[in-house]
Chains A and B, each alone.
Chain A
Amino acid sequence: MKRVGVFLCWCGSNIAATVDVGKVAERVRLLPGVVHVEENKYTCSEPGQASIIKAIKEHGLERVVVAACSPRLHEPTFRRTLETAGLNPYFLEMANVREHCSWVHPDREKATDKAFDLVRMAVARVLKNEPLARGSITIEKRALVLGGGIAGIQAALDIADAGHEVILVEREPTIGGRMAQLDKTFPTLDCSSCILTPKMVDAAKHPKITLYTYSELEKVEGYIGNFHVTVRKRARSVDETLCTGCGLCQTKCPTKVPSEFDVGTGLRKAIYTPFPQAVPNKPVIDRENCTYYKTGKCRVCERVCEAKAIRFDQEDVLVEERVGAIVVATGFDLFDCSVYGEYGYGLYPDVIDALQFERLINASGPTEGKIKRPSDHEIPRSVAFVLCVGSRDEQKGVSYCSRACCMYSVKHATQYMDKVKDGRAYVFYMDIRTPGKAYEEFYKRSSVEYGVQFIRGRPSKIYQKGDKLIVKAEDTLLGRPVEAEVEMVVLAPAMVPKRDAARTAQTLGVSYDGFGFLNEAHPKLRPVETNTAGIYLAGVCQGPKDIPDTVAQASAAGAKVAALFSRDEMATEPMIARVDEALCSGCLWCKPVCPYKAIEARTVTEKVHGRTVSREVASVNAGLCQGCGACTVACRDGAMNLQGFTNEQVITAVDELLAGLRPACS
């Protein structure tokens, strides 16, 4: 029998106050295999660890049990201790007598009994431990960044500046994302384009960044360090290498359709770049609206193009790339305000949403920055800004707060008051949330310096009366119903995940919440990692946030990728599933239960009674397996085992527990 040493930790008074550690030690001493028992006030401390190393050497210990806190906290610590003493680090078992015992039980005597049971089970288990060795995988030092908004651009620039190649994939014809649509940014009121467009150009010109615009992620295979991704480059119908971006085709194109970039407040042509500062500044043909694709006639763009760059017969191209890490920065959509029948969005032309207002006040927008209301192009003398349209509404919208709307609506009201000196701006709010640097001061300035009126009440109804819009609400601070007569209404819609966020998550194999926002690995301590190793998050795809927070998260994701790429190889945990091919019947019930797509069929050839036969068995990809154990439960043959957590180990521990309980039962 192997020689086992047991180290009982007091954890100060955390364990010792509830568990009689001395008594546990006395009883543990009598267990078969145990040759050394020791108590420590803090086993994890430097002297505590030193005593383990000393005992291993003096008593020739071959297996170690530490009865202390949760293995989630200090298992890595004590594994290192064993390694230092020259033992295989996986000859360690921890008995969790703190979280699973002293912290949750008030009765000292019963808690002491339970602590002994836990240690007893750990001793039985540790005798079955096998030596395990960490593997290693190589790392492809190239990153894929999905989404070319401010989050994706920032992450791409940071990774590229660290010296690694980046592939930046953007679905729209240009990078820039939502931020390109905005006029000014709170609380400093610096112009959005002025701070964004240089970054767009930097990204496009960076020698380490490859840009795929008008492209989409098609498929992801592989695992951290070794992803194989397929990107669909949609047909632009324009040869990018020839096009000079002169813009003549756009001027001559006869077809006008509502511009997505201007959120319907302006028009674009069928061959277009979304906005003049687009990167790359090469147009695409919108085949759904192009006259040539609809009727077979026109080809005006082709005739006027001096560079002969128009390619009507261009087809989608699938590009395959190998990358070691993926940053997801796919952004967000806005809540559809027409869900609220009572607000008349889509019914009254002068009820618009906040992004449309951004286009109206933007100097490069359809009104060249003049606030003209859509119905008659007059400048409205009064405007109501309505917060939380969709946000914080469990009945018609989403339960969460969208975080940025308070501040941008305060900004909108301020900008309006600045441009229309004799105007009146009413902001209908429930709470004004200003938790950011200089945000509260900006909010104060809006009323003190610009005269914005704040009314605490969620509007109940908006309707047209003559050429005015009436906003009905309660001023909850007065306790009286109020009606505001205004000439335009701006609704602040909730930020919601991209329509296809769930599909993106499934393609990538990362988890997402009930709304469709992608899940971070830990809400506080791992905010940019996903639960899938090698995939990181940046920006609103993870949850609503404003530009400063988005940029911070993007840089954090970039730093994580750079840290991963700082090594040539990375160690893999050996506690993963292993197939006993002799037992495996090849039923592959394990395959569908694996959340990491780590199990594939493999054909083995063997000699049976002198004949060579081939059969299928399951095989586990060590890079993908995260050691969750789902397959071991599904396996009907008992062929699947989690190393370091084998069926035999678990059953031995249970047997030990039941053996100890037998006298008490009889």
Chain B
Amino acid sequence: MATPNAPLVMKGGPAAGRLLAKVDAMSGTQVEACYQCGKCSGGCPLAFAMDYQPRQIMRLVQLGLEDEALASSTIWVCATCFTCTARCPRDIDIAGVMDALRVLATRRGLRPGDRNIGAFHRAFLDSVRRFGRGYELGLMLLYKLRTLRLTEDMGLGLKMLAKGKLALLPETAKGRAEVEAIFREAAEGAREAAEGARKAAEDSPETAEGAAAGPGRSKGAAGGDVR
């Protein structure tokens, strides 16, 4: 997006429908049903902070403009509150689509433009991996340490502590071994996906296609993204 209004080139050919097919399969919804009414964007509590409106992300997916969709801040700003999904007149799981796009972007090695977003996601996962469930105070501290925004939100944190909304000590969930196994399997899957993508890219950049693969469990699903 060097020039803001440079034409977006639609290349056609067999690759054109690929993003749509992939996102449909991953999110279990039909993005092609979107008729661009904008009810999602109109009710989105975070639309003000997005570069593309949620409706416009649906449009990018419909047109197969993958680079544009995966590079947008929208997919990372989305808080997955599901207001859009609940209201969509065409029954599209818009929040699910955002999820799918985040997975695709991550597989491609794309990181959110705002590094705080990544830090938050990592802090959350660390907390889940360690305790088997969310530990809000730990998450906050870890996030603050990683982003060096130590004093921000301090007042709010203290207020929440005072009202008993934050536990001082973490609670641990049962079955932490199973949680750990999930994390290990996910990491393994990601490694295999990356491996598969590399191989596929060496064989032919066009044949590797993981349209039907679900997020995290795909083998070689990232192939289509490597050009």
Contact = CB atoms under 8 A, between A and B. Distances in A.
Interface of A: 342, 388, 392-397, 430, 456-461, 472-476, 479-482
B68 to A, nearest CB: 14
Interface in B40-67: 40-44, 47-48, 52-53, 55-56
B42 A394 contact: no
Given A430-B35, A458-B39, A460-B43, A479 B53 contact: yes
Given A342-B43, A481-B41, A481-B48, A476 B55 contact: yes
Given A458-B89, A461-B42, 19 more contacts: A388-B37, A394-B89, A394-B90, A394-B91, A395-B87, A395-B90, A396-B89, A456-B38, A458-B37, A460-B42, A472-B42, A473-B38, A473-B39, A473-B42, A476-B55, A479-B52, A479-B56, A480-B53, A481-B53
B43 A472 contact: yes
A472 B90 CA distance: 19
11 contacts: A342-B87, A396-B89, A457-B37, A457-B38, A460-B87, A472-B43, A474-B38, A474-B53, A479-B56, A481-B44, A481-B53
A457 B54 CA distance: 13
B179 to A, nearest CB: 34
Interface string B189-201: 0000000000000
A322 B53 CA distance: 63
A479 B47 CA distance: 10
B106 interface: no
Contacts of B36: 430, 476
B43 A461 contact: yes
A458 B90 contact: no
Nearest to B83: A460
Interface of B: 35-44, 47-48, 52-53, 55-56, 83, 87-91
A458 B52 CA distance: 18
The 3 closest A-B pairs by CB, nearest first: A460-B43, A474-B38, A460-B42
B91 A458 contact: no
Contacts of B56: 479
Given A430-B37, A474-B47, A476-B37, A459 B89 contact: no
A189 B126 CA distance: 67
Contacts of A480: 53
Contacts of A393: 89-90
B84 to A, nearest CB: 8
A165 B4 CA distance: 72
Contacts of B44: 460, 481
B40 A460 contact: yes
Contacts of B47: 474, 481
Contact of A481 (B42, B87, B91): B42
Nearest to B50: A481
Given A457-B38, A481-B48, A397 B89 contact: yes
Contact of A395 (B35, B42, B89): B89
A396 B91 CA distance: 9
The majority secondary structure among interface residues of chain A is loop
B87 to A, nearest CB: 6
Contact of B89 (A392, A472, A474): A392
A414 B154 CA distance: 54
Contacts of B53: 474, 476, 479-481
Contacts of B55: 474, 476
Contacts of A482: 42
Contacts of B87: 342, 395, 460
Contacts of A461: 42-43
A375 B187 CA distance: 60
Nearest to A459: B42
Contact of B39 (A394, A397, A460): A460
A457 B53 CA distance: 12
A459 B89 CA distance: 11
B26 to A, nearest CB: 21
Contacts of A394: 89-91
Nearest to B86: A395
A560 B38 CA distance: 46
A552 B117 CA distance: 61
A476 B47 CA distance: 13
A327 to B, nearest CB: 35
Nearest to A473: B42
Contact of A476 (B38, B52, B83, B88): B38
A478 to B, nearest CB: 10
Contacts of A397: 89
Contacts of A456: 38
A506 to B, nearest CB: 30
A396 B39 CA distance: 13
Contacts of B38: 456-458, 460, 473-476
Nearest to B92: A395
Interface centre among B38, B83, B90 (most CB of A within 10 A): B38
A461 B55 CA distance: 16
A388 B39 CA distance: 12
A395 B91 contact: yes
Interface centre among B43, B55, B88, B90 (most CB of A within 10 A): B43
Nearest to A461: B43
A393 B90 CA distance: 6
A430 B37 CA distance: 6
A183 B44 CA distance: 38
Contacts of B35: 392, 430
A606 B74 CA distance: 85
Nearest to A457: B38
B72 to A, nearest CB: 13
B48 A459 contact: no
A459 B39 contact: yes
B56 to A, nearest CB: 6
A473 B89 CA distance: 14
Contacts of B48: 481
Contacts of B90: 393-395
Contacts of A481: 41-42, 44, 47-48, 53
A458 B84 CA distance: 12
Nearest to A480: B53
B40 to A, nearest CB: 7
B48 to A, nearest CB: 7
Contacts of A395: 87-91
B30 to A, nearest CB: 11
A475 B44 CA distance: 13
Contacts of A430: 35-37
A321 to B, nearest CB: 45
Nearest to A391: B89
Nearest to B47: A481
Nearest to A472: B42
A201 B37 CA distance: 45
